[in-house]
Structure 1
Amino acid sequence: MPDTESKLINLYEHPGHLLRRAQQISVSIFYDEMGEELTPVQYAMLRNLESHAGIDQVSLSAISGIDTSTGATVCARLEEKGLLTRTVIPTNRRQRSLTITGAGEQLLSDLIPGSQRLRRRLLAPLSSTEQLQFMALLTKLVRENNEQSRAPLTDGVPAPREVS
């Protein structure tokens, strides 16, 4: 057994458990800062759609790291809310082309300050140097384990940006 590995009797030595707890905390702060209009997954899909107009929902799900059945449900909900439109692709009637609506664009714009507060609050316990290290290590962890996901990212994981 490597020196860095214990018997893992303490649950809080399991990285997966800590990642799950971090996700719970992140979601809680998400709703505090972003309100109840969107779920974190809806926000991710809408944010990615903003820069990929006309993409089909299968591809949008793939670049968002969401399985296709969840992605279809999320797109339907976003359409019900008037935040995107889905149009049948004539060459493939099973696929839908997605376009963000004006209301969707406005909502994303309105959520920018909340997303900035969310990031600051989530990373606040860390020093500036630790924030950069954490984001680099978390990005590496996700990138290197991407293929282990039930919904691997097709575009890969981008390099972390500097934290300000």
Structure 2
Amino acid sequence: MSKASPSAKTSTARKTTKVPAVMPVHDEPGHLIRRAQQLAVARFHEVHGRNATPIQYAILRTLQESPGIDQVTLAQKIALDTSTTADIATRLEAKGWIERKVMPRRQRSLSLTPTGAEVLLELQPGIELVYQAVLRNLEPAEQDEFMRLLRKLVQIDN
């Protein structure tokens, strides 16, 4: 009895593997997630204008909750890469919204400035309006379920 070669097994596996049907792009999870994110950003700008972005808001909120954290920790908390976080932090420092202090090992400690704290106070009341606008097509129970599923989805990949 002869053994099948690894390449023969592979080609047999390929022949029996069922290829999933191609779904319309508008039904693909990645496309829908991207569209939902676009919707959320658009609603943020409708409520707040263009002075701040959702990512900048996330940074300000995180620094409010964890003053003095370093850029690497901030990047981890808001799920951004460290170079993007550093670029945004530089811009926020130039706006006078945060202060960056050099720490040992070339890390930087980040804190809100009084101006940054004021900006955050101005943004916070509108955040609920943004959430309501984003979720308005869902019934209250669906909103709760949607948020539960989003949290579950992002926890899988974090």
TM-score norm. by structure 1 comes to: 0.81
Query: In structure 2, how many angstroms separate the alpha carbons of the residues matched to 1:8 and 1:142?
Result: 25
1:49 aligns with 2:48: no
Task: Flag as ranges the 4+ runs of structure 1 deviating above 2 A.
Answer: none
Q: Distance in 2 between matches of 1:138 and 1:53?
A: 27
Root-mean-square deviation (CA, aligned residues, Å) is 1.1
Equivalenced residues, count: 139
Report if the CA contact (8 A) 1:8-1:14 is conserved. Answer: no
Shift of 1:48: 0.5
Where does the alignment leave 5 or more consecutive residues of structure 2 unmatched? Answer: 1-19
Deviates more, 1:8-17 or 1:99-108: 8-17
Residue 80 of structure 1 aligns to a residue in which SS? helix
Partner of 1:114 in structure 2? 126
Q: TM-score, normalised by structure 2?
A: 0.84
1:108-132 superposed Cα distances (whole Å, 9 cap, x missing partner): 1111121110001001111110000
CA distance in 2, matches of 1:8, 1:101: 51
CA deviation after TM superposition for structure 1 residue 96, in Å: 0.8
**Partner residue, 1:135:** 147
Larger radius of gyration: 2
Superposed CA deviations along residues 83-124 of structure 1, whole A, max 9, x for unmatched, are: 0000111x32x1111110111111111111211100010011
Report the alpha carbon displacement of residue 64 of structure 1 after superposing the two structures with TM.
0.8
State the 1:9 CA deviation. 3.0
Matches within 5 A, 1:136-155: 136-146=148-158
Unaligned runs of 5+ in 1: 1-5, 147-164
Q: SS at the partner of 1:98?
A: strand
The percent of aligned pairs where both chains have the same amino acid is 44
